[in-house]
Structure 1
C-alpha cells in the first residue's frame, strides 16, 4: 500500500462507517469489509495478488530489526513484533469473545506454545520487561501464522452476521469472560469498559480494521526510522 492506497483505505473506512448500520446495505457492507480487512493482513491470507500493508512492513526486514526494542519512533517504543502480536490479540479477543461468544483462536491450536510466549492477554498496560521478553522470544514464523488464523476466523465471523446484527450491543456476560479468560490485564480494565459501550459495528470498525491500520502504520514508521539509523551508521564507517 503506497500513500495513495492508504488514502483510499481511509476513504473506504468512511464508507464502511456510513453503511454498516443500514440493514439494507448488509451485503455491500460484508463485501467492503472483506476487501478492506484483506489489506491489513499478509497477502498469503487471501491468496490474492494484492500488496498489503503487512507485506510492506515485513519485506526486506531482518529478524533483529523486527525484534528491536525499544525503538526510537515518534509515537512508540515497542518492537514491530510486539505490534503485530498486539493487533492480532486484540482482534482475536474482540471478535471471538465479544462478537461471536466463541473460543479464541489463541486457544484453538496451542498457539502460545507455538509462539514460544507466556502472554495470553491483549498487551494493553504491558510492562516494559514483558514487552522486552516477548520481543526477544516470540517465534516470528508462528506469530505470522497466528495472525493469518485470526484474520481468517474474523472473516468467517463477520460474513456469518445477519442483517441488523451490527447494531447489537456487547453483552455484559462477554465482558466478564474477558477477565475469566485473562484476555486483558486487570490494569487494563479501562479497555473492557470501552469495549462494553460498543456495538458489533463499533468493534468491526476499530479492533478488526482501524486498530490494525494504525498499528501497521506505526510499524512502517519504525521500519523507516531503522533504515535511517542504518544509513547514518554506514556513513560513519
Structure 2
C-alpha cells in the first residue's frame, strides 16, 4: 500500500463517520450544544468540512469547494467566506446552522475533491514543502496527516454529541 492509498482510506473513514453521524438527526440535535457551551454537531461537521476543504485546496493549488461550488451562498452564514471556524466565539458557533442534508452535501463535495487530488499523487509528492511558516517547514504529507487527525477528532466529537442527545431505551 502506498501513501496516497493510506490517506484515501483515512479520508474515507472520515466520510463514513460524517454520513453516519448525520443519518437520522433532527434540527434540534444538530444545534444542541453539550453542557450549553460545547460545539454543536452542525458546527463540528461544518468546521471539519471547512478545514479539509481549506487545507487540501491550499496544499494542492485548488479552489475551495466552499466558494467554487457555491456552498458559501447555500449556507448563508454571517461569517467571512474565508472563515473555517478557528477561534470562534460562542455566538459564532451558534450562528452555524444548517440542515443535515446541506452539511452532508458540502462534505460529500469536499471529499470528492480530496479523493480526486489524492489519486494524482505519488509517494515523492508527500515530501514537497507546502508551508514555510513553521520550523521545520510543513510537507504535504504532514499537512494531510494533520488534516486527517483534526477531522477525525471533530467527527468523533460530533458522534459523541449525537449520542448524548439520545434517550435511554
The alignment's TM-score, normalised by the length of structure 1, stands at 0.63
2:50 aligned with 1:89, yes or no? yes
Where does structure 2 lack aligned partners over 5 or more consecutive residues? Answer: none
- 1:101 aligns with 61
2:8 equivalent among 28, 31, 34: 34
The 3 A distance-change label for structure 1 pair 100 and 94 is same
Count of residues in Structure 1 that have an aligned counterpart in Structure 2: 167
Q: Point out the structure with max Rg over C-alpha.
A: 1
Matched, 1:71 2:24: no
Q: Which one scores higher on RCO, CA 8 angstroms, separation ≥ 6? A: 2
Deviating above 6 A after TM superposition, structure 1's stretches of 4 or more consecutive aligned residues are: none
Task: State how far apart, in whole Å, the 2-side matches of 1:59 and 1:146 are.
Answer: 15
Kindly indicate which of the two structures has a greater share of residues assigned to helix: 1
> Cα 1:83–1:197, aligned 2, differ >3 Å: closer, same or farther?
farther
Structure 2 counterpart SS, 1:170: strand
Q: Is structure 2 residue 101 aligned with structure 1 residue 141? A: yes
Give a deviation string over 1:20-49, Cα, whole Å, max 9, x none: xxxxxxx622222222221211xxxxxxxx
How has the CA–CA distance of structure 1 residues 111 and 78 changed in structure 2, closer, same or farther, with 3 Å as cutoff?
A: same
Structure 1, unpaired ranges of 5+ = 1-26, 42-51, 173-192
Pairing of 1:1-237 with structure 2 (within 5 A)? 28-41=2-15, 52-68=16-32, 70-72=33-35, 77-97=38-58, 99-119=59-79, 120=81, 121-135=83-97, 138-171=98-131, 197-207=137-147, 209-227=148-166, 230-231=167-168
